[in-house]
Amino acid sequence: MIEKLDELAKEVAEFLLEKNYVRIVSHHDADGIASAGVLAHALRREDIPFHISIYPKLTAEVVAEIEAPAVFCDMGSADPSLLESLEEFAVIDHHKPFEEMDAPHINPHLVGIDGAFQLSASCIAYLVARKMGENEDLSGIALAGAIGDKQELEGANREILEEGLKKGVLRVSEGIRIGTGEIEELLFLSNEPYIRGVSGDEKGVKEFLQKLGISGKYEELEEDEIRKLTSAIILMLIDSSREKVLRSLVGEIVWTEREILKDALTLSNVINACGKLDHAGTGVAVCLRDERFLDEALEIHRKYCTKILRELNRAVESIESMSSLKYVWVENEGITGAVAGVLARYVVRDFPVLALRRIDGIVRISARGNEELIERGVDLGDIMRISAQRVGGQGGGHSIAAGASVPEREIAEFLKNVNEEVQKRLAK
């Protein structure tokens, strides 16, 4: 599958290699920051100066600040008209393209691969980096981005994993995917999985572990302790989570031999937290293997998890319903996507979930669904784009995860539009 993208990767790589300077513009989540990190390593090894800018979304105002030559990561495909004013640019993305682009452009959708499920932007950046030099050691960063976008390591992603294993820069073990470190801390901060009565509840964590007779660091647990812990967590989730979600929690854990955070899940979670709490530079530094920033990054991650869990524990009691969707208002900035995602995976089974936040007369919305809804024809990227445009806003994204911004005065009409669009697709 990756071979189909080789020519596009080569075209973008040649664009970058012929420059004396490159502006890297990327998204502020784990996938976007990992994408920037992969390209930064590749450019630095070729002695090409670069400057990294991380943004929550691509807008005309962002583009106006960018001098060419630039490479856009995890953004750009969905609205190439925003980039028309730039003379020299390339795009590395995995969001569904809606128009042709007269610039070097690599995207899995261009070769028939759905970028929502395989080959996140960081994995695409890795394919470009491989064409720039001997950069296979960056596979761990690439997969951290894919994990951050909730992609499974199968299909084309699996090829990247196999390459890293062959080069000796990755290894795998079996277990439950909750990260590494003190098990008590991991469970307290855990929103993936979100375990009601345990996540964010110190007393609940202690009682849970005391019943199991387990303590210490996850990576130092015996095999029977890991099995006992895994079974107990699955039993806590079985009534509220879909089978596919439960299966995704257990399996291969990817270990990164070259990164300063040794398991790809923790690397993904930490750099995502840095981006979402406006410390993207710290996240990039972690990707660049600068140990001076590790303690700061871990503390940012803890604050981010605590923020999400406070919001989640409130949100699960205040979910509002329409005939074909669920929605909740979020009070804290930077976590709407995380809240919607957790609710869609661990609380709401049958409908899309929207998390909404008011900011200066605008409502920002994150929408999340699941594979079963997509199989029934629900494409949230399309639905958010159509519904937002009808009320003078903007929207788009993947079939399973999308977002929008709309005027606050139009939010009731927007929600009505989304509900009708979901209903229409489910009725087919």
Same domain, 30 and 135: yes
Question: How many Å apart are CA 341 and CA 259, to the nearest integer?
Answer: 27
pLDDT at 251: 86
pLDDT at 206: 96
pLDDT at 367: 96
Same domain, 197 and 163: no
Token pair recorded at residue 262: 């040794």
Question: How many Å apart are CA 388 and CA 11, to the nearest integer?
Answer: 35
pLDDT over 80 (residue 241): no
CA-closest candidate to residue 328, choices 345, 341, 315: 315
Mean pLDDT is highest, among 38-42, 314-318, 334-338, 340-344, for 38-42
pLDDT at 129: 98
More confident of the two residues 47 and 428: 47
Establish if 391 belongs to a structural domain. Answer: yes
pLDDT at 13: 98
pLDDT band at 255 (very low <50, low <70, confident <90, very high): very high
Decide which of 137, 171, 205 is a domain's last residue: 171
Question: How many Å apart are CA 217 and CA 412, to the nearest integer?
Answer: 47
Same domain, 58 and 198: no
pLDDT band at 335 (very low <50, low <70, confident <90, very high): confident
Question: How many Å apart are CA 92 and CA 261, to the nearest integer?
Answer: 25
pLDDT at 278: 94
pLDDT band at 247 (very low <50, low <70, confident <90, very high): confident
Same domain, 98 and 44: yes
Mean per-residue pLDDT, 24-33: 97
Establish if 286 belongs to a structural domain. Answer: no
Mean per-residue pLDDT, 249-278: 94
**Cis ω before 108 (30° cut-off from 0):** no
Mean per-residue pLDDT, 256-278: 95
How many beta carbons lie within 10 A of that of residue 330, not counting itself? 26
Same domain, 16 and 81: yes
pLDDT over 80 (residue 334): no
pLDDT at 4: 82
List the CATH number of the domain containing 108. Answer: 3.90.1640.30
Same domain, 12 and 154: yes
Establish if 304 belongs to a structural domain. Answer: no
Establish if 341 belongs to a structural domain. Answer: yes
Same domain, 321 and 203: no
How many beta carbons lie within 10 A of that of residue 317, not counting itself? 8
262-266 contact pairs (CB < 8 A, 24+): 262/180, 263/179, 263/180, 263/219, 264/140, 264/143, 264/144, 264/147, 265/144, 265/147, 265/177, 265/178, 265/179, 266/179, 266/180, 266/181
How many helices and strands in the chain, by DSSP H and E? 17, 13
pLDDT at 237: 87
Same domain, 135 and 53: yes
In one letter, which amino acid is 238? I
Token pair recorded at residue 223: 């095999």
pLDDT at 366: 95
Decide which of 144, 171, 198 is a domain's last residue: 171
What tens digit of pLDDT does each residue of 270-314 get? 999 999 999 999 999 999 999 999 999 999 999 999 999 988 888
Establish if 116 belongs to a structural domain. Answer: yes
Same domain, 212 and 358: no
Establish if 257 belongs to a structural domain. Answer: no
- Spell out the residues 6+ positions from residue 203 whose beta carbon is closer than 8 angstroms to its own: none
Per the structure, how many domains does the chain have? 3
Q: Provide the greatest CA pair distance for the chain.
A: 63
Establish if 268 belongs to a structural domain. Answer: no
pLDDT at 397: 87
- Terminal Cα distance for the chain, rounded: 32
Q: In what order do the strands lie in the sheet with 362-368?
A: 320-321, 326-329, 353-359, 362-368, 401-407, 394-397
pLDDT at 11: 96
What tens digit of pLDDT does each residue of 38-64 get? 999 999 999 999 999 999 989 999 999
Question: How many Å apart are CA 304 and CA 342, to the nearest integer?
Answer: 14
Residue 23 near residue 69, CB atoms below 8 Å: yes
For a pLDDT cut of 90, what percent of the chain falls above it?
76
CA-closest candidate to residue 31, choices 147, 116, 137: 147
In one letter, which amino acid is 261? L
Rg of the chain on CA atoms, in Å: 21
Decide which of 151, 171, 191 is a domain's last residue: 171
pLDDT at 239: 73
Token pair recorded at residue 383: 């639905």
List the CATH number of the domain containing 414. Answer: 3.10.310.40
Same domain, 320 and 410: yes
What tens digit of pLDDT does each residue of 194-222 get? 888 899 899 999 999 999 999 999 989 99
Establish if 390 belongs to a structural domain. Answer: yes
The pLDDT mean for the chain works out to 93
pLDDT over 80 (residue 262): yes
Same domain, 7 and 115: yes
pLDDT at 101: 87
pTM for the full predicted model: 0.85
What tens digit of pLDDT does each residue of 95-141 get? 989 788 889 999 999 999 999 899 999 999 999 999 999 999 999 99
SS3 call for 365: strand
pLDDT at 132: 98
Length of the chain: 428
Same domain, 335 and 389: yes
pLDDT at 316: 84
Element containing residue 368 per DSSP (H, E): strand 362-368
pLDDT over 80 (residue 372): yes
Residue 325 near residue 352, CB atoms below 8 Å: yes
> Whole domain around residue 242: which residue ranges?
178-248
